[in-house]
Amino acid sequence: MEAKTPSASIAILTDLVLPSETNPLNNLFGGELLARMDRAASISAGRHSRRIVVTASVNHVVFSKAIPLGSVVTVEAKVSRAFRSSMEVYIDVWVEDRQSGDKTKANEAIYTFVAVNETGNPVVVPPIKPETKLEKQRFDAALRRKQLSLVLAGKMKPDDATELKALFM
Ligand SMILES: CC(C)(COP(=O)(O)OP(=O)(O)OC[C@H]1O[C@@H](n2cnc3c(N)ncnc32)[C@H](O)[C@@H]1OP(=O)(O)O)[C@@H](O)C(=O)NCCC(=O)NCCS
């Protein structure tokens, strides 16, 4: 299968924060942001694989900045690495300043999607060829993150997580 670039899988969702999507502090509710990120990441994984994709795991989420009511929020998702049937999707979340239009990074997250056929069985996806420095960094670290996710899910023995263990040696 021919390799594809991360930018070929880019998915960008821009939307407002409405009153029904906020917590008692009038900031965006975490679960709403998780859902927006899941949607963008699903579109991205689908663009890369051109298959049905399902969320296999949410590997990492950082809610580093609260996002106030009325904000314009942009969720940008790109496949950072593809394995056999699974894809790591990296998501960056930006908040736009109403007056200047400048965008500030608010959050980021990493999801794993698996491409499946009509009966839900995993199918092979094209590899990823990273281009930019950031894409290469994310690509290189993705194998360690996959191993950590599999160890935490009880699907891999810690002893077999060679690249992950190398971080601590
Ligand atoms: C995701 C799913 C298809 C995996 O099926 P499975 O029987 O575990 O299949 P496999 O063991 O062959 O794993 C398939 C791929 O997923 C990866 N994977 C499975 N669980 C994972 C996890 N927790 N973290 C990271 N990768 C995972 C495997 O490493 C494998 O990757 P590879 O083919 O690229 O090497 C299956 O568990 C499923 O359908 N889950 C429900 C998905 C869903 O409904 N999501 C919506 C959430 S409500």
SS (H, E, C) the chain: CCCECHHHHCEEEEEECCHHHECCCCEECHHHHHHHHHHHHHHHHHHHHCCEEEEEEEEEEEECCCCECCCEEEEEEEEEEECCCEEEEEEEEEEECCCCCCEEEEEEEEEEEEEECCCCCECCCCCECCCCHHHHHHHHHHHHHHHHHHHHCCCCCHHHCHHHHHCCC
The rounded percent of the chain whose pLDDT value lies above 70 is: 100
Domains within the chain, CATH numbers bracketed: 6-129 (3.10.129.10)
What confidence tier does 3 reach under pLDDT thresholds 50, 70, 90? very high
Q: Is the pLDDT of residue 99 over 90?
A: no
For residue 121, give the ligand 1 atom closest to its CA.
Answer: 3
What confidence tier does 169 reach under pLDDT thresholds 50, 70, 90? confident
For residue 56, give the ligand 1 atom closest to its CA.
Answer: 1
Distance of CA 32 to the CA centre of its chain: 15
Q: What is the pLDDT, as a whole number, of residue 97? A: 86
pLDDT digits 0-9 by tens, 19-46: 999 999 999 999 999 999 999 999 999 9
Residue 86 CB–ligand 1 contact under 6 Å: yes
pLDDT digits 0-9 by tens, 41-50: 999 999 999 9
Residue 56 CB–ligand 1 contact under 6 Å: yes
Closest Cα to residue 10, out of 132, 147, 142? 132
Q: Whose CA is nearest to atom 44 of ligand 1?
A: 54
Q: What is the mean pLDDT of the chain?
A: 96
| Most informative mutation of 48, 114, 150 for ligand 1 (most atoms within 8 A of CB) | 114
Q: Is the pLDDT of residue 167 over 90?
A: no
pTM of the model: 0.95
Q: What is the pLDDT, as a whole number, of residue 25? A: 97
Q: 42 CA to middle of ligand 1, Å?
A: 14
- The torsion angles phi and psi of 126, rounded to 5 degrees, stand at -65, 150
pLDDT digits 0-9 by tens, 130-165: 999 999 999 999 999 999 999 999 999 999 999 998
